[in-house]
Amino acid sequence: MAYFKDEAELHHILGMLYDRVKINPAVAPRIREGKIVIQFRYTEPTGIATINAAAPPTQPGAFYDVFWGDDTGLKPDVQMSMKADIAHQFWHGKVNLMMALTRRQIIAKGPIPKILKLLPAVEPVYAIYPVMLREIGRADLVITK
């Protein structure tokens, strides 16, 4: 079962999550400390999100910027490619990153230790994501097991 019906829905839902996280004082400063540009390349449906934690944010209240699309002009330090369903499961805390890398469910380019260092910082997002899905009326996307 595909979780996202198309690119617009993927962008809407994950975009909303990323927008919440970049202003979250419990999560975003720890991501900002990494001073890294991370690009997520999604397939089925297609979408590209780039987190720029290497430069000061342009949005007041944000700790970093998030851009959608392939024309950001940024060179990512780390590029993570995966099916959108894997990303959805990851943000529920259901995907072990090391196992997913080993199984090639997630393909990473760049210094993997940098991304692994951020894992503890993003753990609170595992609780934020399902709550957000319920708030926007998409409880049907919440993974409970």
Domain 7-139 has CATH 3.30.1050.10: yes
pLDDT score recorded for residue 1: 62
Q: Is 73 exposed, middle or buried (0-12, 13-18, 19+ CB in 10 A)?
A: exposed
pLDDT score recorded for residue 115: 83
Partner residues linked to 66 by β-bridges: 51
- Whole-number Å distance between alpha carbons of 39 and 69: 10
- The answer to whether 88 and 104 have CB atoms below 8 angstroms apart is no
Give pTM, 2 decimals: 0.93
Per-residue pLDDT tens over the stretch 44-93: 999 999 999 999 999 999 999 999 999 899 999 999 999 999 999 999 99
Expressed in angstroms, the distance from the first to the final Cα of the chain is: 15
DSSP string, 44-106: TTTEEEEEE-SS--SSTT-SSEEEESS-S----SEEEEEEHHHHHHHTTT---HHHHHHTTSE
Average pLDDT over residues 8-32: 96
Q: Which position has the higher pLDDT, 118 or 20? A: 20
Domain ranges of the chain: 7-139
DSSP 3: S
Per-residue pLDDT tens over the stretch 111-140: 988 888 888 999 999 999 999 999 999 999
Chain-centroid distance of CA 75 in Å reads: 17
